[in-house]
Amino acid sequence: MAARTCPQCMAKVPAGCVVAFTDGFDCPGCQTRLEVSTASRFLATLAGLLAAVLIWRLTGVGAGSLGWAAPVLYTFLGFSIVAPLALIAIADLRIRPPEPVAAPAAAGSHGSHH
């Protein structure tokens, strides 16, 4: 199942790449370096947090010495499921800008003095 298409070659990008490699992955068609936009990541995280808050409010604290653990577990699972599904639905792919190249240190630079 393809989640999005490459903005350069319009090739289908698998949903697994979109969710697992949001910071950068290669297009399966043209090998262009792509990333998921920051706005899409923030919206997916917000959707996960809203789901977690809703689950927290619905579960409440149970009885017993470990009654606090169930709401925490359900909240974690809710966030872990909703955020990736939201990212699959709303992910906006863009071409990743090239990384800046660090300049090599000059041979005559002033380092530590002994």
Q: Which amino acid is at 19?
A: V
* 31 located within any domain: yes
Position 101 in a domain = no
| 48 C-beta neighbours (distance < 10 Å), count | 20
Number of domains in the chain: 1
Q: How far is 27 from 14, CA to CA, in rounded Å?
A: 10
Domain membership of residue 34 as a residue range: 2-95
Structural domain contains residue 114: no
Tokens 């689950």 sit on residue: 55
Asked whether residue 109 is domain-assigned, the answer is: no
Is 84 part of a structural domain of the chain? yes
Q: What is the pLDDT of residue 1?
A: 44
Which residue has better confidence, 47 or 59?
47
Average pLDDT over residues 36-59: 93
Question: Does 102 map to a domain?
Answer: no
Q: Which pair of structure tokens corresponds to residue 48?
A: 């996960």
pLDDT at 28 over 50: yes
Beta-ladder partners of 2: 14
Handedness of CA 101, 106, 112, 114 (dihedral sign): positive
Task: Quote the pLDDT of residue 107.
Answer: 62
How far are the Cα atoms of 8, 25, 47, 49, 52 from residue 14, in angstroms, in the given order? 16, 11, 21, 25, 26
Answer whether residue 112 is part of any domain: no
Residue 103 belongs to a domain: no
Does the pLDDT at position 31 exceed 60? yes
